[in-house]
Amino acid sequence: MDVTTTPRLRSGQAISLASLHPAVGATHRRKIVGRGEGSGHGGSATRGTKGQRARSGATRMVGFEGGQTPLLRRLPKRGFRNGPFRRRYTVIHVESLGKAFGPGQVVDEAALRERGMVKRSLPVKVLDAGVSELSHALVVRVSACSAQARAKIQASGGTVETPC
């Protein structure tokens, strides 16, 4: 269907999926490369002539600068980085616990996964977003809990049980 001959909406006509069309110039034909000279993109298949990017499997690692020492290696390394050994947590806010669980309910990692609040298999840490107070008591059993979150849960009459 040609874009220029697409029927336009007349006044008073209801819009339907059949009457919608993209704006003129919004769509383009897909470029088909490497299918012979008759396609207009044969021969080198838009890769240019020779060179690293013209070869098969031509992918370069992130930060590659054509053989020049990459910026990441040129910059000085300073300080201590503990990346591989840092503790990673799935973060849950006290406010969302108050909305998802009723008074006196036990909040543990299994209950959070059951409600779809935790998807990854990382340990759970409860944090305080500082937005509102917890309106009812909860029994929270998670891997870690911030001091502010602990204070907010205990102020509402609940308890926090964390290992160690």
Q: The tokens 């935790």 sit on which residue? A: 118
For 41-56, the pLDDT digits (tens) are: 988 999 999 988 899 8
Domain boundaries, the chain: 28-75, 90-161
Q: Which two tokens stand for residue 19?
A: 């009457």
Topology (CATH) of 90-161 = Ribosomal Protein L15; Chain: K; domain 2 (3.100.10)
**What is the spatial distance between Cα 141 and Cα 107, in angstroms, rounded to a whole number?**
6
132: amino acid identity, one letter: S
**What is the spatial distance between Cα 118 and Cα 112, in angstroms, rounded to a whole number?**
6
What are phi and psi for residue 7, nearest 5 degrees?
-65, 140
For 2-42, the pLDDT digits (tens) are: 555 445 566 566 778 887 888 899 999 888 998 999 988 98
Q: Is the pTM of this model over 0.85?
A: no
